[in-house]
Structure 1
Amino acid sequence: MTEAVRLDAVSKVYGKGQGAVAALREVSAVIPRGSFIAVMGPSGSGKSTFLHCAAGLDVPSSGSVRLGGTELTGMGETELTELRRQRVGFVFQAFNLVAALDVVENVTLPLRLSGARVPRGRLEDILRRVGLEGRAGHRPAQLSGGQQQRVAIARALITGPEVVFGDEPTGALDTMTARDVLRLLREVVDGLGQTVVMVTHDPLAASYADTVLFLADGRIVDSMSGPTAEKVAERMTRLGAWT
């Protein structure tokens, strides 16, 4: 299985001198293509920094990040912006939809911003997969929270990205709606061969992943394959005692 993302000895330090804070400390990880990876850890463990460095949203202080065969280290902001637009999808806790645009316009926004053609077949397929065929002309205010997050997932998928990064994508949803969204992310991996990397604090959300990476104090301290909510919760309890 080929690598979607590779981090080698990645460190990220914010600030200088006495006020310097190390958010990541020599983190190395390989995200296999076509896998669903959850990233967990206590508050301040470096989860979001891990995601931002892996996705090219933030530049490591040292170490190297590769997306597919592309080395991100040393890229300028313009190059990174182009790379993120073409090769990476994002789903955040806040849905980040444009209120004045309908579902189709929100989903196709990344393509239109880059001047790319909107492939009708792909658009229809994605709307069907995320369960929004009958909502194409609706604006965000006419949709439930779960439907809005489905629009955000469809928008992340429309460019055919190599990796979809989710930052607490179910954090603003009730439990039942969160399960629907997690099932959809699982389906995207199994049905489309998509790679998903998701930061979460929720053991139930992590149980939908193939592998969970546990961070503490800026380091990967453990990993778990075939996770269950119970096993993840137990591991997180121990992590809390270590920090």
Structure 2
Amino acid sequence: MTDAVRLETLYKTYADTGTAVTALDGVTATFAAGTFTAVMGPSGSGKSTLLQCAAGLDRPSAGRVFIDGAELTAIKDTAMTRFRRGRVGFVFQDYNLLPALTVEQNVLLPLRLAGRRADRGRCAEVLTRLGLGDRRHDLPERLSGGERQRVAVARALVAEPAVVFADEPTGALDLRSAREVLTLLRAVVHEHGRTVVMVTHDPVAAAYADSVLFLADGRLAGALSAPTAEAVAERLTHLGDLVADRAGSPT
């Protein structure tokens, strides 16, 4: 099994306030092609920073990122943007749909930005697969939250990326819509061979993944295969206790 994403000794330090804060502290991890991985950890553990660096939305302070065998951290910003548009898909909590564009136009937007042909046939195929074939010409305001997130998933898939990064994709959804989107992401992996890396705080959401990667204080803190919501919640409790103990320990 090949690696869709490989992270080698990633460090990320922020010093905007004059005091250096280490968000990632030497993280090495791989995400195999055709798998669904959830990334979890206590607040401030570095999970969102990990996703942003892995996806090329931010640069690590040190270390290397490989996507589909290409080293993302070795190229300049303009080339990174082009690479990201062609090989990486994104699903965010807030959908990020443009309200003045139809469903079809929103889905095709990444292709247009990348200077690629807007394949309406491919767009219709993806939307039909996601149960939105009859909503192509609707504006986002006419859709429910779950439908808007499915449009965001379609937009992430239309360019056939090597990996889809999802940042709290169900955080703004009701329980039923969240379940539909998570089932959809799992189908994207197991039925269509895509790779999904999802940041979430929700043990129930994480249970839809093949495995869970845990972070604490910017470091890897274990992994869990075939996760259940109960097992994930228990592991998170232990991680939270660990972080609290470290914060309360004298330096």
Partner of 2:213: 213
Of 86-95 and 63-72, deviating more is 63-72
* CA displacement at 1:117 relative to structure 2: 1.2
| Distance in 2 of aligned mates of 1:186 and 1:43 | 25
Q: Which residue of 2 aligns with 1:235?
A: 235
Task: Please report how far the alpha carbon of residue 114 of structure 1 lies from its aligned counterpart in structure 2 after TM superposition.
Answer: 2.1
User: What is the distance in 2 between the residues matched to 1:192 and 1:74?
Assistant: 30
Letter in 1 for 2:79: E
Task: Structure 1: give runs of 5+ residues left out of the alignment.
Answer: none
- TM-aligned CA deviation for residue 52 of structure 1: 0.6
The letter for the 2-side match of 1:162 is A
The correspondence of residues 144-159 of structure 1 with structure 2, limited to 5 A, is 144-159=144-159
Structure 1 residue 121 displacement after superposition:
3.2
Compute the RMSD of aligned alpha carbons.
1.2
Partner residue, 1:98: 98
Report what 1:140 is aligned to.
140
Query: What is aligned with 1:34?
Result: 34
Q: CA deviation at 1:182?
A: 0.2
What amino acid does structure 1 have at the position aligned with 2:215? L
Q: Report deviation, 1:16.
A: 7.3
- Specify whether residues 184 and 17 from structure 1 end up closer, same or farther in structure 2 by C-alpha distance, changes over 3 A only: closer
3-state SS of paired residue (2:65)? strand
- Using the alignment, how far apart are the partners of 2:175 and 2:240 within structure 1? 23
Deviation at 1:115, TM superposition (A): 2.4
Whole-angstrom distance in 2 between the partners of 1:138 and 1:210: 34
Counterparts of 2:114 and 2:53 in 1: how far apart (Å)? 23
Displacement of 1:73:
1.9
Equivalent position SS for 2:187: helix
Q: Give the deviation of 1:70 after TM superposition.
A: 0.8
How far has the Cα of 1:116 moved from its partner? 1.3
For the residue of structure 2 that corresponds to 1:192, the secondary structure is: coil
Deviations 1:57-84 (A, max 9, x none): 1111111111111112232110111011
Residues 16 and 142 (structure 1), Cα distance of their counterparts in 2 relative to 1, 3 Å cut: closer
Equivalent in the alignment of 1:204: 204
| Distance in 2 between residues matched to 1:194 and 1:74, nearest whole Å | 24
Which amino acid is the alignment partner of residue 205 of structure 1?
A: A
Aligned to 1:47: 47
Residue 174 of structure 1 corresponds to 174
* SS of aligned partner of 1:150: helix
Distance 2:13 2:233 in 1: 29
1:126 lines up with 2:130 in the alignment: no
How far residue 18 of structure 1 moved from its aligned partner, in angstroms, is 6.1
Partners of 1:209 and 1:17 lie apart in 2 by 36
For normalisation by structure 1, the TM-score amounts to 0.97
Superposed CA offset, 1:162-181 (max 9, x none): 00000000000011110000
Identity value in percent: 60
Report the count of equivalent residues: 243
> Separation in 1 of the partners of 2:227 and 2:94?
26
**Residues 158-199 of structure 1, C-alpha deviation per residue, up to 9 Å, x if partnerless?**
100000000000000011110000000001001110000000
| Structure 2 portions without partners, runs of 5+ | 244-251
SS in 2 for 1:109: helix
- What is the match of residue 23 of structure 2? 23
For 1:107, the aligned partner's letter is: V
